[in-house]
Chain A
Amino acid sequence: MSTGEKFIQMVIAIAVFFAVVAVILLLTQRLRSRRGELVQSAAFVLPALALIGVGLLYPAVTTIYQSFLDRSGDAAVGFDNYKTIFTDSDQLIVLRNTAAWVILVPILSTVIGLVYAVLVDRSRFEKVAKALIFLPMAISLVGASIIWRFVYDYHDKSQTQIGIANAVIKGLGFDTYKFILNDPWNTIFLIIVMIWVQAGFAMVILSASIKAIPDDIVEAARLDGVGGFRMFRYITVPSIRPSLIVVLTTISITTLKAFDIVRTMTGGNFDTSVLAYQFYREYFVSANQGLATAIATLIFVLVMPIVIYNVRQMRKLEAR
């Protein structure tokens, strides 16, 4: 397809879509009776319901069912796929890495975001300073991975270093380090990329929350002689506790589902795979449908309690 054809396809798709919407609106516009209102509601809601039913509900149920079948989906195997996840030595490394991601990324991103938000709050360069940290949010995880692969670039100590991390190490007189190859620390260096992306998100939410702390509380504490670190510890942190939980849980969910960084930086090699990437690899590379759907279901099971907790916290925030 040429560029022109692609844009024509796009315009056709959008035009057809809006034509259908317009026809629905025009047809139902004149209905005024009690039954007419029902028809109108249906016209407004059914497109969304149909898409969600076919695209989310049906596939989710099917996936859970398939996770109890074998690799080609022919015979039932009970919990064997789940047993593989928790006993196979390769899969155990995947679980170990996933745990490291889900523990380290939310905590470190939140701490860095919080500290930074407090440091730049009400300073002269606040806007610029915040934009600098926030910027990685706009970058795709693929782009971020390339940016960081360049930072981690490795050459033998005798050669010129073009990656800044090894250049600094060499400048300090140490031997250069294979950041991406050396298990198990390579997982930590991939995690740093995710922290780099997520700290901006934490910073924005927490900064808004800090600004919402009533002035009189801060003032009263200051008159009592509270300042500096104790202000942070006893006034700031307790006041923004609900936002802190929302940020922590949201980043945990995002981290559990992110697979781009692992795929772009290592392709899951050198013992760096995580659940979200393993799902992709088992289905599209190993053609093992049973194991892939079991991994997807496990992600679902892990995400569920965090989301429910997160939603409750958000409700509380909104109620205030």
Chain B
Amino acid sequence: MSTAIPEQKGVEAVVAQEPVTATAKRALSSPWASLAAIIIAVLWTIPTFGLLVTSFRPESAITTSGWWTALWNGGWTLDNYDQVLNGSDTNLGTYFVNSMVITIPSVLIPISIAVMAAYAFAWMKFPGRDFLFVAIFALQIVPIQVTMIPLLKLYVNQGFAGSDAPGGGFYTIWLSHSIFALPLAIYLLHNFMSQIPGELIESARVDGAAHVQIFTRIMLPLMAPAIAAFGIFQFLWVWNDLLVALVFGGGSLEISPLTVRLAELSGTRGNDWFLLSAGAFVSLVIPLIVFLSLQRYFVRGLLAGSVKG
């Protein structure tokens, strides 16, 4: 009894001092909930972690023991990365360059065109404006598979495709990515743009500014976060794309991005894990850096409905 009394007092004191939010917090973070969260997090991380560990192990060790044994046995090497980047039969360095060359214009061009169109739809008056905007918006429902075969034939007939084409065939990929990005980009940027107060535009017009000046001096700076949001989205989409590159790259490895080369390696050298693991991480590095450093903008883009498939 003598020990129970002070204990009771202690509990009462704690309850009295504890704010309501803390009670809520405690109820939510019960040990079972934490355990479930940890299990999901571990299950989600292990596959990537396993391949990452494998990419730093020697070829002989990969095939004779599980990657988890390396955690206590050690034996790390950078040979796989050296081979993947500089080896004569893989030479992912070339494809890394291709991915860069494909991605940069495929992000810049559609965004520029879309910002201009979105501005016109939001702040300029011209006949058929509302109809055209709804039409562009509706075209988002066209899956890219539906457009591919006729578009490819069009490119071939116009001499855009193939290795003799101008730009070595890159133009077809740039153009296709730009086209496929436009409906969503215009819709999204228009949404952001029409939220800017109309008085701002009006007063600039009264002061004698033309649309072009309003667009370049006022609109572009204000739109920077929205443009960043869509830009990251488009960047990840293009960098990680396989279908467009396969179909419009004309099957030539000369201009193929990393994804195409990796998919091919996975088919032809499916059990050479020293190549595949290092190759996968070479292709992951850039999107991961972009993603982690600009995650805030990416999430904003997602929440604004920029979802594409």
Contacts and interface: CB of A to CB of B under 8 A. Distances in A.
Contact of B151 (A14, A26, A55): A55
Interface stretch (B9-17, B71-79, B168-176, B196-204): B168-176
Contact of B97 (A6, A134, A219, A283): A6
A55 B179 contact: yes
A271 to B, nearest CB: 18
B249 to A, nearest CB: 12
Interface string B19-46: 0100111011110011011001100111
- Which of A3, A143, A148, A265 has the largest number of chain B CB atoms within 10 A? A143
Contacts of B27: 227-228
Contact of A119 (B36, B125, B142): B36
Contacts of B88: none
Measured as residues with beta carbon below 8 angstroms from the partner, the interface class of chain A is 35 or more
Measured as residues with beta carbon below 8 angstroms from the partner, the interface class of chain B is 35 or more
B149 A45 contact: no
A173 B44 CA distance: 24
A62 to B, nearest CB: 4
B242 A6 contact: no
B83 interface: no
Contact of A279 (B64, B119, B145, B242): B145
A110 interface: no
A263 B186 contact: no
A13 B216 contact: no
A142 B263 contact: yes
A133 B42 CA distance: 9
Interface stretch (A83-91, A92-100, A183-191, A301-309): A301-309
B243 A280 contact: yes
Q: For chain B, what secondary structure do more than half of its interface residues adopt (helix, strand, loop), or is it mixed?
A: helix
B116 interface: yes
A45 B186 CA distance: 10
Interface in A126-184: 129, 131-143, 145-151, 153, 160-162, 164, 167
Contacts of A21: 112, 116
A132 B41 contact: yes
B157 interface: no
B113 A51 contact: yes
Contacts of B216: 25
A12 B101 CA distance: 11
B273 A304 contact: no
B234 interface: no
Interface of B: 20, 23-25, 27-30, 33-34, 36-37, 40-41, 44-48, 50-51, 54, 62-68, 94, 97-98, 101, 104-105, 108-109, 112-114, 116-117, 119-121, 124-126, 129, 132, 136, 139-151, 154, 167-168, 170-171, 174-176, 178-180, 182-183, 186, 210-213, 215-216, 236, 239-243, 246-247, 254-255, 259, 262-263, 266-267, 270, 273, 276-277, 279-280, 283-284, 287-288, 290-292, 295, 299, 302-303, 305, 307, 309
